[in-house]
Amino acid sequence: MSTFIPGWYLIYTKPRQERKVVGSLAGLGIDHFLPTIKTVSQRSDRKKTIENPMFPSYVFVHPNTVNELFAGQDLDGAVSYVKFGKRKAILAPEVIDNVKIIAANAKNIEISYDHFSPGEKLIIQKGALAGLQCEMISYKNKNLALVRIELLQRNIIVDVEAGHLNAQLSVKDMTCKTY
């Protein structure tokens, strides 16, 4: 039997049930995080700004006890924890910190499922996203910074001024661990 390790886990939810799961987690007093981004939706007569989950069907959760861990998977709208094999994946704190920084400063970002070839590794030195690792890519005929979230197999594309970037000397892998 494996022992419980407190940390950030990822709950996979039914489609469009993220807010329902977040409400249930809040009601139980369990730490959680649902990063959102604002998108503009064109209606027939107007444009409307909508706040959507950055990662549809996923909610980050930080249970502090084994009871909270089990309560998280039994919520209405939750499917299961993300696992590697039979083990629940625990995200590195750096991944959560990076997602929080991006979500708090999400102005010119785009979430992409496209596969990108590795680009030049850089560190964002200035601005709201300072300290994040990124790669330079060419996307839609523009040079943009790509922040990879490997666990979710998604890419966050950010428009960063060239003066805010600096070459990175060493790359630290910030994905996740399994227990």
pLDDT digits (tens, 9 = 90+) for 83-134: 989 999 999 998 899 899 888 886 778 888 777 777 788 888 888 888 888 8
Collapse the DSSP code of 3 into the 3-class scheme (helix H, G, I; strand E, B; otherwise coil) and give the result: coil
Distance from C-alpha of 22 to C-alpha of 33, rounded to nearest angstrom? 8
Q: How many domains does the chain have?
A: 2
Which tokens in the block code for residue 35? Answer: 């990063």
- The domain boundary, picked from 57, 76, 91, lies at 91
- Full residue range of the structural domain in which residue 47 is found: 9-91
Asked if residue 114 and residue 78 are part of one domain, the reply reads no
Distance from C-alpha of 127 to C-alpha of 9, rounded to nearest angstrom? 29
Q: How many residues does the chain have?
A: 179
Asked if residue 114 and residue 70 are part of one domain, the reply reads no
- The domain boundary, picked from 60, 91, 122, lies at 91
Residue 3 lies in a domain: no
The alpha-helical segments, DSSP class H, found in the chain are 18-28, 66-73, 93-104
- Is 168 a residue whose pLDDT tops 80? no
Question: pLDDT tens for residues 128-166?
Answer: 888 888 888 877 777 777 777 665 778 888 877 777 888
Residue 32 lies in a domain: yes
Asked if residue 166 and residue 116 are part of one domain, the reply reads yes
- The domain boundary, picked from 56, 91, 126, lies at 91
Q: Could you tell me the CATH number of the domain that includes residue 62?
A: 3.30.70.940
Distance from C-alpha of 21 to C-alpha of 117, rounded to nearest angstrom? 35
Asked if residue 31 and residue 53 are part of one domain, the reply reads yes
- Is 175 a residue whose pLDDT tops 50? no
